[in-house]
Amino acid sequence: MFKTLILILMGGVLINNYVLQQFLGICPFLGVSKKVNQAVGMGVAVTFVMLFATAATYPIYAYILEPNGLSFLQTIVFILVIATLVQFVEIVLKKFIPSLFKALGVYLPLITTNCAVLGVTLNNITDGYNFLESMVSSLGVGLGFLLAMVLFAGVRSRIEMCPAPKAFKGLPTTLIAASIVAMSFYGFSGVIEGLLG
């Protein structure tokens, strides 16, 4: 049991990294990775929302949609629930923890339309996880997102200083760098199973 949870967690962080292996959430990955501290803010916010989103959507699926044979409604219902949830979290944070609200700033509303959040809730159901496994998986995926953001922000801040050819300046270099970082993550496939299995 414990081993499965560790496997799911590490799998989310390293092997099935949502940004680098499954290409979900590319928009904030390219948009908010210019500076390391911004990347950390975005990564933490996404992890936070992913956990909440899973906690909210899993019961809805298990107790409302599935018993009525309406699992085909999951995508549209999840979008609705996640959007509401993010708004709700924003209102509550603004009232009770203004400092955290200020720190997360523009990232919270940005996450409303982040496909990585929707992706993790849908994939948890496709993979047949129970509630605990779903939560661990969301945590893993969130941490993986954070890791990818921070790593890439570091790479990017170094690249910005380099004299690239004019045609490659800006986004082209960023995309090439992203592909190389993604390739480096292929090295992890099999490592975790090998260590624990």
Which residues of the shown chain bind another protein in the complex (CB under 8 A)?
A: 60, 64-65, 68, 70, 72-73, 76-77, 80-81, 84, 87-88, 91-92, 94-96, 98, 161-163
CA angle 71, 124, 117 (to 5 degrees): 95
Q: How far is the CB of 189 from another protein (least distance, A)?
A: 36
Nearer to another protein, 60 or 177 (CB): 60
Cβ atoms 152, 50 nearer than 8 A: no
Nearer to another protein, 56 or 182 (CB): 56
Nearer to another protein, 77 or 177 (CB): 77
Q: How far is the CB of 130 from another protein (least distance, A)?
A: 22
Nearer to another protein, 5 or 90 (CB): 90
> Please, what sign has the CA dihedral across residues 56, 58, 59, 63?
positive
Q: How far is the CB of 49 from another protein (least distance, A)?
A: 16
> Please, what sign has the CA dihedral across residues 184, 187, 188, 189?
positive
Q: What gap in Å lies between CA 40 and CA 142, rounded to an integer?
A: 12
Q: How far is the CB of 96 from another protein (least distance, A)?
A: 8
Quickly count helices (H) and strands (E) in the chain: 10, 0
Cβ atoms 18, 120 nearer than 8 A: yes
Q: How far is the CB of 136 from another protein (least distance, A)?
A: 26
List Cα–Cα distances, 33 to 121, 130, 160, 161, in angstroms. 24, 33, 12, 15
Nearer to another protein, 92 or 183 (CB): 92
Q: What gap in Å lies between CA 2 and CA 112, rounded to an integer?
A: 32
